[in-house]
Amino acid sequence: MAYGTKPMLVSMGRRDDALVADRPWQAGGRGLLAAVAGAFTLAQLLLVRPSMGLGWDEVVYVSQVGTGTPAAFFSAPRARGVSLLVWPIASWSSSTTLLRVFLAVLSGLGLYLALHAWRGLFPARVLAGAGAVFATLWVTLFYGPQAMPNLWVAFGALLCVGCFLRARADRLHGLDRRALWGVLAGAALMAWMRPTDAVWVTLPLLVGALVVQHWRLGAALVAGLSAGGVQWVIEAYLSFGGLRERLNEASRIQGDLGWNFAVDDQLRSLAGSALCRPCNGEMPHPVVYAWWFVLPLLAAYGLAVAFRGVRTTRTLVPLVCAATAAFPYLFLIGYAAPRFLLPAYALLAIPVADALLHLVTTPYGRWRPAVAAVTALGLAGHLAVQYVVLDRTVDRSTANRQAWARSAAELHRLGVRPPCLLTGHEAIPVGYYTGCSSGAIRGHNANTTLADILRTSRSIPVATLTTPGGKPPRYARDWELHRLDGLEVRIAPAPGADRPA
């Protein structure tokens, strides 16, 4: 038997339902996972600058609970989970560094707990390897300390699927209430962050619970999805006219969901694009996305290994959930962002780590020196590419956010200070850095009217932003023009000043 362990067989002879009797897990498994989680947190603090300002989406989430900054428009697809996640820091401090350190530590803890839910299903070193595989992807490291939902959906997916398999395996030994609570918590966390993603991830689990008639397990899934998504549903009726209307509006904002082949878009985004929309740039060098094709191949090998052993179900289930999690972002949406696939990467990591360990060791636990050397070389090259992409992404993101901060300082110099209103190009992030509200008459973030903008300009400073040489809106054509860092701003006449008829 691989890994030198002997699985406990259940009374009905269903070997795949048995948990791994892995004594090393009891002795050092938690330590291995803690080391991986600690290294993940440390790598974030070293490689993703804690002082890096907030990005566009982060501004939206943080401004909902932040101090001294007006809340940005909250569009239909978004959920309030990230805002609640950052509330312990953002509610009393505007320090981005403090917020990033908090999120880096919290994401390390999240990784540890998510992997810990798989105890007994796989040996400890497989789980530690899975954590390392997932945590060293540039997209995982980059979003670890950021106020964004996708990584937390990934942690919720790992927790939910792992506890689902534990509850299923323990059914014949008696009800594992802790596993049921884990299923509920994982489903709730996903729905809290992104309700639609939670549905895609849990769809195979709901079908599985129905097929095996495990009603309590199905009830735990439904209860978790309901607990996490109830606020989003209530908000749909209060602010969007109903659940169907919110879903339709979310689809419109995302480019009208339907059949869209976005695999090539995802490949383009792997070069470090936070959002590839429209995604019509050149394809990056194959070395950048080679791992993207190796990952499913290793996962398939892990499944083949599982068929020969005793872990078929516990390997197949995360693979199916990874496929349903990735499906809408590969085939139903007309643009890409690498963070969208984080839940799929997290679920794939466990069978991939299992496959890697089988590649480099014999069934008796001995090393295969030649295979191990080639694998180590390939992993070293993979890590080097991930670091290069991460470094460039951090540099580019930092430069963009510094430009917003410089624009905000220049706006202050020109007299645009809180309370104030910004409209136009990049009004949401520049508005946050300036301390202004942001408004739009049309587009995905439409939240005001022309009459409201003109009325507001009579009482507080109002400015509209355009790209250099861009055409301003009609109402701002006669406003005073100034050039900022990569932007042009037109400022309304000061309140009380003479205005043209």
DSSP code per residue over 271-325: TT-S-BSS--SPPPPHHHHHHHHHHHHHHHHHHHHHHHTT-HHHHHHHHHHHHHH
* pTM across the whole model: 0.93
- What per-residue confidence (pLDDT) applies to 464? 97
- pLDDT reading at 501 higher than 70: no
For residue 139, which of 396, 347, 337, 280 has the smallest C-alpha distance?
337
Residue carrying structure tokens 């002795």 = 27
- Report pLDDT for 380: 97
Mean pLDDT of 326-335: 95
Confidence check: pLDDT of 85 > 60: yes
Mean pLDDT of 191-195: 98
The per-residue pLDDT for range 20-76, each reduced to its tens digit, is 544 433 445 889 999 999 999 999 999 999 999 999 999 999 999 998 889 999 999
Q: Name 480's bridge partners.
A: 491
* CA angle (425 as vertex; 424, 428 as ends), nearest 5: 85
- Other beta carbons less than 10 A from residue 69's beta carbon: 21
- Say if residues 66 and 94 touch (Cβ distance below 8 Å): yes
The two three-digit tokens of residue 447, written as one number: 């939240």
pLDDT of residue 67: 85
Residue 452: pLDDT band (50, 70, 90) is very high
Range with lowest mean pLDDT among 107-116, 221-230, 278-287, 459-468: 278-287
User: Tell me, what's the pLDDT at 325?
Assistant: 98
Angle between helices 427-434 and 56-63 (to 10 degrees): 50
Q: Between 264 and 309, whose confidence is greater?
A: 264
What confidence score (pLDDT) does residue 363 get?
81
* Per-residue confidence band for 175, with pLDDT thresholds at 50, 70 and 90: low
Mean pLDDT of 455-477: 95
Which residues are CB-neighbours of 264 under 8 A, at least 6 positions away? 279, 283
Q: At what angle do helices 342-360 and 369-413 cross, to 10 degrees?
A: 160
Nearest Cα to 196, choosing from 62, 78, 333?
Answer: 78
Alpha carbons 302 and 354: distance in angstroms, whole number: 6
Helix, strand, coil share of the chain (percent; to 5) = 65, 5, 30
Q: How far is CA 242 from CA 62, 186, 233, 245, 287, in A?
A: 25, 26, 8, 5, 46
Per-residue confidence band for 281, with pLDDT thresholds at 50, 70 and 90: confident
**C-alpha count within 13 angstroms, C-beta hemisphere, residue 429:** 18
According to DSSP, the residues that pair with 490 across neighbouring strands are 464, 481
- Asked if residues 455 and 471 have their Cβ atoms less than 8 Å apart, the reply is no
pLDDT surpassing 90 at residue 12: no
Pairing of strands 488-491, 462-466: antiparallel
Residue type present at position 256: D
| Choice among 75-79, 167-171, 272-276, 401-405 with the minimum mean pLDDT | 167-171
Q: Is the pLDDT of residue 454 over 60?
A: yes
Q: Are 121 and 314 in contact (CB under 8 A)?
A: yes
DSSP β-ladder status, 421-424 and 437-439:
parallel
Q: pLDDT tens digit string along 375-426?
A: 999 999 999 999 999 999 999 999 999 999 999 999 999 999 999 999 999 9
| pLDDT value of residue 214 | 87
**Pairwise CA distance, residues 332 & 257, whole Å:** 5
Q: What is the mean pLDDT of residues 478-494?
A: 93
What pLDDT does 450 receive? 95
Whether the per-residue pLDDT at 4 is higher than 80: the answer is: no
Mean pLDDT of 302-306: 93
Domain boundaries along the sequence of the chain: 254-360, 402-491
Least confident of 207-216, 446-455, 456-465: 207-216
CA-based nearest residue to 453, from 462, 442, 444, 465:
462
Closest CA to 348 of 319, 374, 372: 319
Cα gap 266→292, rounded to integer Å: 10
pLDDT one-digit tens code per residue, 112-141: 999 999 999 999 999 999 999 999 999 999
Average pLDDT over residues 335-351: 97
